[in-house]
Structure 1
Amino acid sequence: MDRRTFIRVVTAGGAVAVTGTLWQTAAAQPAARVLPGSPYGPLRAPDANGLALPEGFTSRVVARSGRPVKDLVWHLAPDGGACFPDGDGWVYVSNSEVPLIGGASAIRFHADGTIDRAYPILRGTSLNCAGGATPWNTWLSCEEIFRGRVYETDPFGGGEAVRRDALGRFKHEAAACDPDRGVVYLTEDESDGCFYRFRPDTWGDLSRGTLEVLCGSEDTTTVTWQPVPDPQPGVFDTQTREQVDAARHFDGGEGCHYAAGVCYFTAKGDGKVWAYDAVDETVTPVYDGGGTLEGVDNITGTAGGDLYVAEDGGDMEINIITPDGVTAPVLRVEGHDESEITGPAFSPDGTRLYFSSQRGASGFSAGTDGVTYEVTGPFRH
Structure 2
Amino acid sequence: MTGQQSSRAGWLWMSGLTAVAAVSSLASGSSCSAMGVEGDGGGGDPNSGGATSTSSDTGGAGGTHPPFTETTPTDQCPRPDTPWLPLAVDDPAFLGDSTDNASDDYSSYCGGGAEAGRPDVVYPVEVQNRGTLTITAAPAAPPTVVYVESECGVRTTFGLPPDQLPCLEAAGDQIQLGVVRNQQLFVIVEGVAWSGDFDVTLELTEPICGDGVINPASDIELAEQCDFGTSGGGGAGGAGGGAASNGCDASCRFETPVLNEDQCPGPNIDQLVGDPFSGHTVGFSDNHQAPCAPSNGPDRVYSLALQENDQLHLSVEADFDVVLSIMTDCDESKPAHCQDSPGVSTDESLQFTAPESGTYYIVVDGYDAASWGTFDLTATIQ
TM-score (norm: length of structure 1): 0.26
Q: From the CA coordinates, give the structure whose radius of gyration is larger.
A: 2
Task: Write 1 or 2 for the structure with the bigger share of strand.
Answer: 1
TM-score (norm: length of structure 2): 0.26
